[in-house]
């Protein structure tokens, strides 16, 4: 279990609340936070900075994590929260608001509830999606995405649960192979994703232009020995391009089983020595680092607790 100085960390949180002129509920705050807050109020008679929404969220995350004995990694800063910010919720697809006190307000949550508040395990979503997700794990979310009646009662539609499953699968602490799901929403910035999702995103982003589709297919053909599978995949990508013309949300075009089946068949038969070339191609369409296991900073062994 990661060692954290409770007194020192609490003092720093209280100090920063005072430094930014943020109020602190003394009755409900951790006892170790109050000395830093009192010292900060004495030192900063006038707040040193006006916090923007990223600083305010950072302060809130630190305090909430500390109250629950959860680790908040030092790399999670206001600048990091700004980096992963987005305007549309990837789960409900609604435009997010800020400080409107509605379900459309933005929120920051851990993707894997058993991990720390650390880079790669945080995403921005609306309050409605965050409340529905709650403490659920990936397996439970997949079950809700299957269309059982409880899904709607718990706040999200079948497709919304399926989108949530998409963003959670890469962060799930799974021992076996991950399921080959259709990619139904944008991958959150800096989050983990299976290579099959990155593969789908590459084909989706390249499908808009015939010139780009042809360029990608030429590279993919060199990475696979079967000309038959290459021809089938080419037809699937052309079908994907047609689907995109009518899709209200681009990722909906990937839900077509006529597109998914050839993609799965091609992906699952890629020779191992061609995987580096596939990763290099995917990196041109936003794929980041490739890690075989969750980062140590997530502290999954201790449930993200200090």
Longest dimension (CA), the chain: 74
- Secondary structure tally for the chain: helices H, strands E: 13, 2
Rounded to whole angstroms, the Cα distance separating 169 from 20 reads 37
> 73 and 36, same structural domain?
no
Name which of 193, 211, 210 is nearest 282 in CA terms.
Answer: 193
What stretches of the chain show up as alpha helix (H) in DSSP?
6-19, 34-43, 53-67, 78-84, 127-133, 138-144, 150-153, 158-169, 195-206, 210-222, 227-246, 257-267, 275-283
Residue 1 has pLDDT above 60, yes or no: no
Place of tokens 């047609």: 242
Q: What's the pLDDT tens digit per position in 111-157?
A: 999 999 999 999 999 999 999 999 999 999 999 999 888 888 899 99
> 59 and 177, same structural domain?
yes
Its domain, for residue 19, covers 1-51
> 47 and 65, same structural domain?
no
Q: What's the pLDDT tens digit per position in 59-108?
A: 999 999 999 999 999 999 999 999 999 999 999 999 999 999 999 999 99
Count the domains in the chain. 3
pTM of structure: 0.94
Burial grade of 85 (CB within 10 A; 0-12, 13-18, 19 or more) = middle
> 201 and 138, same structural domain?
no
pLDDT of residue 28: 61
> 246 and 122, same structural domain?
no
pLDDT of residue 111: 98
Per the CB < 8 A criterion, the answer to whether 147 and 113 are in contact is no
Q: Residue 138 maps to which CATH number?
A: 3.30.40
Name which of 182, 184, 193, 197 is nearest 91 in CA terms.
Answer: 184
Predicted confidence band at 169 (pLDDT cuts at 50, 70, 90)? Answer: very high
Q: What's the pLDDT tens digit per position in 278-299?
A: 999 999 988 876 777 889 999 9
Evaluate whether residue 212 is within a structural domain: yes
> 158 and 13, same structural domain?
no
> 61 and 46, same structural domain?
no
Name which of 218, 265, 267, 210 is nearest 241 in CA terms.
Answer: 210
CB atoms within 10 A of CB 4: 15
Q: What's the pLDDT tens digit per position in 8-41?
A: 999 999 999 999 999 988 766 678 999 999 999 9
Predicted confidence band at 2 (pLDDT cuts at 50, 70, 90)? Answer: low
Residue 194 has pLDDT above 90, yes or no: yes
Q: What's the pLDDT tens digit per position in 226-250?
A: 999 999 999 999 999 999 999 999 9
Evaluate whether residue 6 is within a structural domain: yes
> 31 and 64, same structural domain?
no
Evaluate whether residue 66 is within a structural domain: yes
Evaluate whether residue 32 is within a structural domain: yes
> 74 and 177, same structural domain?
yes
> 162 and 56, same structural domain?
yes
CA distances 182 to 18, 43, 111, 138, 213, Å, are 47, 54, 19, 15, 19
> 154 and 73, same structural domain?
yes
């Amino acid at each position: 279990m990661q060692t954290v100085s409770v007194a020192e960390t609490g003092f720093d949180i209280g100090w920063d609340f005072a430094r930014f002129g943020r109020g602190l509920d003394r009755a409900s705050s951790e006892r170790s936070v109050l000395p830093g807050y009192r010292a900060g109020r004495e030192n900063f008679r006038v707040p040193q900075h006006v916090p923007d929404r990223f600083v305010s969220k950072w302060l809130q995350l630190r305090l909430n994590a500390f109250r629950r004995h959860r680790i908040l990694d030092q790399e999670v800063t206001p600048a990091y929260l700004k980096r992963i910010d987005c305007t549309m919720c990837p789960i409900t697809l609604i435009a997010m608001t800020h400080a409107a006190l509605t379900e459309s307000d933005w929120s920051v949550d851990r993707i894997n509830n058993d991990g720390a508040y650390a880079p790669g395990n945080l995403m921005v979503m609306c309050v409605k999606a965050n409340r529905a997700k709650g403490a659920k794990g990936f397996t439970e979310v997949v079950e809700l995405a299957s269309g059982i009646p409880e899904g709607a009662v718990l706040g999200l539609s079948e497709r919304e649960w399926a989108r949530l499953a998409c963003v959670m699968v890469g962060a799930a602490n799974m021992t076996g192979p991950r399921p080959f799901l259709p990619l139904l929403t944008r991958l959150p910035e800096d989050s983990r994703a299976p290579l099959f999702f990155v593969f789908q995103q590459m084909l989706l982003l390249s499908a808009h232009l015939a010139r780009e589709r042809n360029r990608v297919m030429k590279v993919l053909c060199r990475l696979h020995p079967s000309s038959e599978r290459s021809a089938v995949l080419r037809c699937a990508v052309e079908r994907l391009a047609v689907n995109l013309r009518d899709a209200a949300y681009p990722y909906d075009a990937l839900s077509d089983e006529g597109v998914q089946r050839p993609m799965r068949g091609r992906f699952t038969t890629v020779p191992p020595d061609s995987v580096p070339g596939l990763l290099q191609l995917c990196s041109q369409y936003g794929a980041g680092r490739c890690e075989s296991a969750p980062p140590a900073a997530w502290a999954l062994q201790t449930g993200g607790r200090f």
